[in-house]
Amino acid sequence: MTLGLINANPVVQAKKEGLVRREDQYRDDGVDPLEIYDYVRDIRDPEHPYTLEQLRVVSEESVTVDDKLDRILITFTPTIQHCSMANIIGLCLRAKLKECLQLHYKVDIRVSPGSHADEVSVNKQLNDKERVVAALENPNLRQLVDECIYSDEI
């Protein structure tokens, strides 16, 4: 049995410092895209010792906020087309945001269009709340997700 990673040679980039907030556009008591990006950028990739930002899985363009309806859309780009970790990454995004955001925000998570071979099925799973709850109640999946979202505390 080989111990090779699914994508053994990911492209890694440096963390961007000093992103400027566009204060005027979003209401004071709401969230803006940069705030949400801050929550997710440092989530560790499930396979590699790098963050989602470093692997360009998420970027500041990943987050769209509908300020009036309190709805958030996050798109993420798996490192390769047949990435079997896409669902795990999506679950990590969900679990992290559930902790950081007020509960009434509606969050949709999708792979960026054209970036994954099973785009439709991955998107469907990540946005079915019963499936998400069932996945996060699975102790093995929960442990993997926790390792990714709390990696900076380890």
- Residue ranges binding other proteins (CB under 8 A): 103-104, 106, 124, 128-131, 133-134, 137
* Residues facing residue 74 across a β-bridge: 63, 109
Of the pair 15, 71, the CB lying nearest other proteins is at 71
On whether the CB atoms of residues 62 and 12 are closer than 8 A, the answer is no
Residue 14 vs 103, nearer CB to other proteins: 103
Instruction: Provide, rounded to whole angstroms, the least separation between the CB of residue 137 and other proteins.
Output: 6
CB of 114 to other proteins, least distance (A): 20
Residue 92 Cβ vs other proteins, minimum distance, rounded to whole Å: 20
Which residue do the tokens 């390792």 mark?
147
DSSP H helical ranges for 5-152: 33-40, 86-100, 119-126, 129-136, 139-149
